[in-house]
Amino acid sequence: MGTLSAKRCPANKKLKFFQKRGKTNMKKSMKKFMIACAAVSSIAIAAGMSAMAADISANYSADNNSIPVATPDGAADGTQMTVLVVPTDKKAAVTDADILYINQAAKGELPATALLKGESLADGTYSVLVGYYDAAGAFAIAEDTFTIGEAAPEYTLGDVDDNGKINAADASKVISHALKKAILNETQQLAADVDKNEKINAADASKIISFALKKITSF
């Protein structure tokens, strides 16, 4: 599995609900936790912060619909750790229905295996998040993901040639595909269908040009 990253929370965003553990409803707390995760991730990306490596991985077992519960490197002795498993695309606004596993206990007291909700998981990508305090008292979040079935291809709407830019070259590829001069591959077709009507034609090319000329700001 890939290396997990743990992002430090700013001092004024240390997730106050962790300081009030035992006094609040766990699931409501975790909703705040997930919102904080998204906020901290956004701050880290915007600030160009480097991630701190954490040695945990999400190795899913289909036999009993479970994952091992690992302790991140750097977790302080006695720290309260919270483990959450949700679909990756639900992290920013998790609801009770999205929670596949949730638990909180002191380091060393969490069960070795997390039995996930239900008998099995649908195809998709899932995130395992572990919140903890390090020896310096800073709160951190470790995350890893696992995928069941085929992972959805990654693409950016409008960036048909996948070069990080959306411009006339992308529109030209759309026109060539529509005229059957040069057929786009599956991922390129997903990027080309900017109006999301499952058709690739001049309308998509026109929107891409409008975006390139900054006449529109989104698709």
Q: How far apart are CA 132 and CA 74, in angstroms?
A: 9
Quick check: pTM over 0.85?
A: no
pLDDT digits (tens, 9 = 90+) for 182-204: 999 999 999 999 998 999 999 99
The pLDDT of residue 173: 96
- Residue 54 inside a domain? The answer is yes
- Residue 48 inside a domain? The answer is yes
For residue 120, what are its two tokens?
A: 């099995």
Query: pLDDT means per 10 residues in the chain (219 residues)?
Result: 45 44 51 49 35 60 90 88 88 84 90 92 89 88 86 85 95 96 94 94 96 93
- Residue 195 inside a domain? The answer is yes
The pLDDT of residue 43: 33
- 95 and 129 co-located in one domain: yes
The pLDDT of residue 72: 87
- 17 and 66 co-located in one domain: yes
The pLDDT of residue 41: 44
- Residue 218 inside a domain? The answer is no
- Residue 79 inside a domain? The answer is yes
- Residue 156 inside a domain? The answer is no
The pLDDT of residue 163: 94
Report how many domains make up the chain: 2
- 91 and 185 co-located in one domain: no
- Residue 161 inside a domain? The answer is no
The pLDDT of residue 151: 67
- 122 and 27 co-located in one domain: yes
- Residue 105 inside a domain? The answer is yes
Domain final residue, candidates 116, 148, 180:
148
Q: How far apart are CA 193 and CA 189, in angstroms?
A: 6
The pLDDT of residue 14: 43
| Structural domain boundaries, residue 126 | 4-148
pLDDT digits (tens, 9 = 90+) for 20-42: 444 445 555 555 555 445 444 43
Give the total residue count for the chain: 219
